[in-house]
Amino acid sequence: MKQFLFVLLLASVTMGQATAPSSQSIPVEQENARKAKNLLDQTIQALGGQAYLSIQDISQEGRTYSFFHGQPNSVGLLFWRFYKFPDKDRIELTKKRDVTYVYTGDQGFEITFKGTHLQDPKDLADYLRRREYSLDWVLRKWLAAPGVALFYEGPTVAEQKSVEQVTIMNARNQGVTLLLDASTRLPVKKSFSWRDPTDKERNVEEEIYDGYRLVQGVMTPFSITRTYNGEMSNQRFLNSVLYNKGLEDSLFNVTSAYSPHQPAPKK
């Protein structure tokens, strides 16, 4: 009888070991997420740490170039940009600053000599999508939101640089892949994909960051290249950048009397 009970006990233990869930996959997943978070923490520190996280507004001046099927279709336009985190943006184009786009929340307006009009819906959708997947939103909004998942995807090469690859997924199942310089941890490239609601095709957009300079304690890329499905679509070269000037909300009011030929209003 004792021998029978011993055999029965041994069998139950063996069955329990065979049916118990594997505990090894969980630590591996946790270690992967921990490594991704550690790299992203280093990236934020490389960008300026608290100085970067505390940016409330940005004023830029530079030149922008557009491309069609990877080929330049303009000689470049001077631009001035005033951005107030997270969703107020004013972009003035041409030497005369006579073409302006203003974004506030989910609305976009175009201001020309013909007056003020709602922006073309497709152009507005493109802008809003780029803003939602922007580096600032990913590092400052996505990472702080509940339900975010982080994935370390190992070393690779991007833009002729050794990089580490990390993907961030938010609670809405939107993903952004960041390629981080292996030595400086600064962002080299950002990539995301989305499905066109009309033709259902998946599109890939990327931004490449270069020419970093230290501005007011923040490492700032002075060269930004955007690609669309592998073809260059836009390049921006900055001449000057200022942070936290205290831009007034009236700057983003399309009915205000603000003139682009006067200094941007301050508090």
pLDDT at 206: 98
pLDDT at 75: 76
238: CATH = 2.50.20.10
Q: Quick check: is 242 in a domain? A: yes
Tokens 């976009």 belong to residue: 108
Q: Quick check: is 185 in a domain? A: yes
Q: Quick check: is 16 in a domain? A: no
* pTM score: 0.83
Structural domain boundaries, residue 241: 27-252
pLDDT at 239: 98
What pLDDT digit, counting tens, does each position of 112-124 carry? 998 999 999 999 9
Residues of the chain with pLDDT under 70: 1-26, 70, 256-267
Q: Quick check: is 191 in a domain? A: yes
Distance CA 121, CA 148 (A): 30
pLDDT at 53: 97
pLDDT at 72: 73
Number of structural domains the chain divides into: 1
Q: Quick check: is 123 in a domain? A: yes
Q: Quick check: is 12 in a domain? A: no
Pair 215, 241: CB distance under 8 Å: yes
Q: Quick check: is 193 in a domain? A: yes
Q: Quick check: is 9 in a domain? A: no
pLDDT at 226: 97
